[in-house]
Amino acid sequence: MATNKIRSFGVAIVVALSVSRLTAASLKVHASHATEAVTVEWLSEPGQWTTGGRDWRQSYYSPLKQINKDNVAKLGHAWSSDIEGSSKLEATPIVVDGVMYVSSISGMVYALNAGTGEQLWRFDPGLASFAALYSKACCGPVNRGVAFWKGRVYVAAFDGTLYALDAKTGGTIWKADTITDRSRAYTSTGAPYIAGDLVVIGNAGAELDARGYISAYDIQTGKMAWRFFTVPGNPHYGFEHPELKMAAKTWDKDSRWDVGLGGTAFDGMAYDPELDLLYVGTGNGGPWPRTIRSPRGGDNLFLSSILAINPKNGRLKWYYQTTPGDSWDYTATQKMILADIRLRGRVRKVIMQAPKNGFFYILDRGTGELLSAAPYLRKLTWASRVNMKTGRPIESEQARYWKSPRLIFPNPGGGHNWQPMAFNRDTGFVYIPVREMGDVFALPTEPFSYNKSHLNYHVDRGYPDANGHFEVFCKSAKFCPGREEVLKGQPEILPQSFLRAMDPVSGKIEWEVETTQKTLEKKYVGYPGGVISTAGDLIFEGYGDGTFDVRNARNGALLKSISVENPIGAAPMTYMVGDVQYVAFLAGDRSDGAKSRIVALRLDGNAVPPPTQPQIAAQVESRASLSERVTQVTDAKLVNAGRQLFEQNCAICHVRGNAPNLLPLQDATQHQFFDIVLGGVRANKGMGNFSTILSGDDATAIRTYLINTSQDKDH
C-alpha cells in the first residue's frame, strides 16, 4: 500500500474580513441581516446560533451562561412546535435575530419565532414525490440542517436539489440540481456549508453505487463554480481534475469502477474564513471489502479522509486519510471542530475529529500535519495504534475478515457517528457521545454481483443485542466457525454507550458516564444524542428514551433530567431572545405515532407537556387480507429466505440505521405490513414504496421472518 504522507497542493489565501458590527436582534424585524454585511464577528455573537455548530469553529459551544450549574434545576418548558418528521431527526436548529430555522425529514424547512414557537413559514421540497427514492437510500430521508447567509436559508433536499430560500418568506430564490447521474442511488442528507461566496454540498450513497463528490455554487446565483470528486473514475476515460491522477495510483487498475467506489461527503464539513480553507470529511468505500473493491489493495484515496480545499478554485491543499484501504465502513464524515489550543508549548490552529475508527485526531489545519491520534474507545481491535511518523494506523490481523469471520471493534456504526461532539474552551475538554460495540464481519462466498442503484456493500455481519446475543451472519459461507471460535480471546461483546470527556492535549479520558439504558431501542443499544456545552459549566444531551439531561461540564455529575417522551438524537442548541436564554432541540416521533416536535426550554419553565397524539383513523384494509395474526411458523425455508431478504434490503436502516427497529414487530405493523412495504402508506415518515424491489412473496417472507423472530425469546 502507498504511504499515508501528508500532501500539500497550492497555497491558502487569507481573506480580508469586514469588522463592521451589526445592530441588535429584533423579533419585529424578521431576518434583519438580509441586506447588511455579515461578518465573522456576527457569526460569533453570543446570543446567536448561526451554523450547525454555532459559529464557524463548529465547536457546539456557547458563551451564554444565564443558565448555569447553580440554577439549572429551574430549567423547564418554554414552548413546543409540531413538525413533520420521523423518529430519527438529525438537525440542530439555527437562530438568527430571533428567528429559528430548522430542517426535518427530506429537507423540509420551518421558520419559527424563537421566543414563542409560532410558525412563520414552512418549505416543502416535494416530500410526496420522494417516496420512490426512499427505497434506494441509506439510511432513510434524514436531513442534518440548514445554512444561513445574508437573508437566505440554504437547504439540500433528499433528492439532491439545493435550494436558496428567502429568509423572510421561505420562497425559492434559486435551486440547483447537484446530482451527476440520476440512474445511481444518490441522495443528499447533509447540511450545506458556506465558504466565502460559495455554498457547498455533498451527497450520500456509498453503500449503494455512488461515486463521491462535493459541488460548490455561487451563493447569489446558484451557478456551479466547481466540483471535486473524492475518488477517481475509470482511468481509461481520464480525470476530471489533477488530484484524481495522483489518487488513482492508490487504486488497483482493475478496481470496480462500475460500482462508483463510494467516498461520499454526506455530513461533516467546516470552513476557516481566516485561512480561507474548506474542510471536507469523506466516507467509506463501496463495496466495503477492499479485496472486492480494489483487489490488489491500495490506500484507495480519498476514502475516509479529511480534505482541505481552497474554495476559490476547488483545488486540494492537503489531505489526511484516517483509514487507508477502508474495509469496515469507518467514515471520516463526522463533525470537525476548529480550535486554537496549546500543544507542546505553542498555540496551534488545529482541526479535531473523532471519526468512526476509534482514534481522536488533531491536525494542523493549515498544513494537515498530524499532531495527535489518541484512542477515544476502550475496545479497539482493528488497529493497535497510529504511527505518528507515517500517520498510518497499525492494522491488526483481527481486522482481516476476508480471511475468516472476525469479531471487530468498533462495528460499522463506529465508536462515534454523526451525533456532534462539543469542545468547551473553558474546561479544555472535548465531549464525545460514544458507543462501544463490535460486530462479526464475514466475507460472503458467492461472487460479488453489482446491483445497480441498490445495496452493494457485500459483507455478512452479526451484531449483538443489548444482552450480547447475536447471530454470526455467514449465511452463504460453506464453512462458518462456531460462536466460541469467533469470540475466543476477544473483548467482552456486551454493547455499551457513554458520554466521555477527553482532554485533547493529553489524549486522556478525564471522566465518563454510561448512558446505555437511555439509548436502548427494543433489544438493541443505540447511540447517545449529540452534545453541546456552555460557559455556564454545562453539557446538554438527549437520548432515544426521551430524556434530556444536563450535566456538570467539569465532572459529568447529573444536574437535571427532563422527560420529553419523544426520542432525541440531534444536538441541541442555545440562544437569547431579549434577555432570556433558551435551549432547543428536535425530538422525533414515537412508535405510537405521537408527533415530532421542536422543544424549547428556559429558566422558570413548566413541565414539558406530552407530544401530540395523531387522530385515530380507520384501519387501512390490507391488500393481503390480513384478518388473522400470523403465528410462529415452522417453515425454516421461508424464515431463512425472509432473513436474507431482510438483511439485504432492510437491516441497514431498521437495525443499524435511522429507521425504527422492527424486532419485535408490533401488532399494528404486522397487519399493515404489505401496505407499508408495497403500498408506501408511510412515505411521509420516510418509509418508501418497495414494490419495484420486492415481490409479494418477498414481502411475505420478510414478514414471516420478523414475526417468527419476534416470538423467539432466545433471539
Residue at grid coordinates 438527549 = 542
Contacts of 191 (CB under 8 A, 6+ apart): 52, 91, 103, 143, 144, 145, 146, 147, 155, 156, 267
**Does the active-site annotation cover 329?**
yes
3-class SS letters over 8-41:
ECCCCCCCCCCCCCCCCCCCCCCCHHHCCCCCHH
As beta bridge partners, residue 80 has: 599
Segment (H or E) for 196: none
Pick the catalytic residue: 159, 329, 460, 589?
329
Strands (E) across 273-415 are located at: 277-281, 285-286, 305-310, 315-321, 336-343, 346-353, 359-364, 370-375, 383-386, 393-395, 406-408
| Rounded Cα gap, residues 151 and 8, in angstroms | 36
Does 235 sit behind a cis peptide bond, omega within 30 degrees of 0 on the bond before it? Answer: no
Contacts of 561 (CB under 8 A, 6+ apart): 547, 548, 549, 550
* b/e 14-39 (16+ beta carbons within 10 angstroms → b): eeeeeeeebeebeeeebbbbeeeebb
Distance set, CA 25 to CA 29, 32, 578 (Å): 8, 8, 8
Does 302 sit behind a cis peptide bond, omega within 30 degrees of 0 on the bond before it? Answer: yes
Query: Residue 497: is it exposed, middle or buried by C-beta count within 10 angstroms (0-12/13-18/19+)?
Result: buried
Q: Which long-range contacts (CB under 8 A, 24 or more apart) does 511-515 make?
A: 511/555, 511/556, 512/434, 512/556, 513/551, 513/556, 513/558, 515/433, 515/541, 515/543
Active site amino acids: 329
